[in-house]
Amino acid sequence: MITIHKNGFARARSVLQVLFALCAASMWSSGAVAQNYPVKPVTVVVGLPPGGVVDWMSRLLAQNLQEKWKQPVVVENKSGAGGKIANEYVARANPDGYLILATTSIVAASMVFDKDKSLDLEKAYAPLSTMLYAPYVIIVPTEMPSKTLGEYFAYAKANPGKLNFAGAINTGQMLDEYALFQQAGINITVVPYQGGAPALRALVANEVQGYFGAAFGMQAQIAGGRIRALAVTSAKRFSQLPDIPTVKEATGLDFDAGVHYGWTTTAGTPRDVLAKMAADIQEFVKRPDTLDAVRKQGYESSTMGPDEFGRLMIRESRRAIETAKRANIQPQ
């Protein structure tokens, strides 16, 4: 169980104010763009170790921007505390456009679990662009008799509380699991794990009977029969797993969840600099060779600009707060 903090939701609601501020920060005037930006090296900050997809996309961006801007653009990995170290580093930086933060659409959802609220998101970030998208794939052990998500939900309704479902602790992904179960009207116990790798191991060992897996990394396990995929959580079928139905196709529930990966910068950065940063990044993510590289990595392309990215984070934050309240989840 996750312990209750009586002021948790009052604090969590501040996330919405944050994200409205993000959108407002991206409403740029039609004034002149900062034609001389950048005049010194730019750093792309990644809150994860080297080697993952967030690191990959940021290094590809850095290479492209360096060629375009004629200034060094380097990637700095500041891993630790679930990305909080990197988030705080950029949020508290000088707002001059020389730091770019790799992030996701569900970063605000994770604030539901932040007890100390050490990061003032109301003054934190301005969105720039997204690049990648992937839904979750709902997977179960091969020992489970359920062959479809409809059968799985029927079993859960007939056996309330009997099924255990792995969740990556204190993440928006875990909240999306709760959201699906709430919508389906079923009682499934979510067991927290420290990340996706131990959660997947627990599922393969049949210690838990379900998990929201990262769709881009499941092809080999599904094809090899190590796990069974019941549905993807996107509104339409995921191009990398075209034979797996959506939640709506499998159950009739209008459910849509997944992760968009992209970049923000420090709020308060001059509007003309923000405009140039966003425009140049958008040019990069929409290039045919970039779109092809994304597909080869096992993702779908996501090319949201600042305003759309900000609105998405608002929706994710609102859903996270409502889901956590219904599940009686609050910061520890």
Q: 211 falls in which pLDDT band (50, 70, 90)?
A: very high
Q: CA 240, 244, 250: angle at the middle one, nearest 5?
A: 145
Instruction: Give pLDDT, residue 27.
Output: 41
Could you tell me the pTM of the whole model?
Answer: 0.84
**Dist CA 82 CA 195 (whole Å):** 10
Stretch 67-94: mean pLDDT, rounded?
Answer: 91
Q: How far is CA 287 from the centre of its chain?
A: 23
Cα distances from 168 to residues 93, 190, 213, 269, in angstroms, run 29, 10, 10, 33
Instruction: Give pLDDT, residue 315.
Output: 86
**Dist CA 98 CA 165 (whole Å):** 42
Q: Which domains does the chain have, with CATH numbers?
A: 8-133+260-326 (3.40.190.150), 134-251 (3.40.190.10)
How do residues 301-330 score in pLDDT, each as one tens digit? 999 999 999 888 888 888 888 898 898 887
Stretch 51-61: mean pLDDT, rounded?
Answer: 94
Query: Do 102 and 47 form a contact (C-beta atoms < 8 A)?
Result: yes
In the chain, which ranges are continuous DSSP H helix? 8-12, 14-25, 53-69, 84-91, 149-158, 172-184, 196-204, 219-223, 247-251, 271-285, 288-296, 306-326
Instruction: Lowest mean pLDDT of 22-26, 41-45, 229-233, 267-271, name the range.
Output: 22-26
Instruction: Lowest mean pLDDT of 43-57, 73-87, 113-127, 162-176, name the range.
Output: 113-127
**Dist CA 284 CA 296 (whole Å):** 17
**Dist CA 317 CA 332 (whole Å):** 18
Query: Do 244 and 237 form a contact (C-beta atoms < 8 A)?
Result: yes
| Residue corresponding to tokens 């308060």 | 268
The tokens describing 230, both together, are: 């019941």
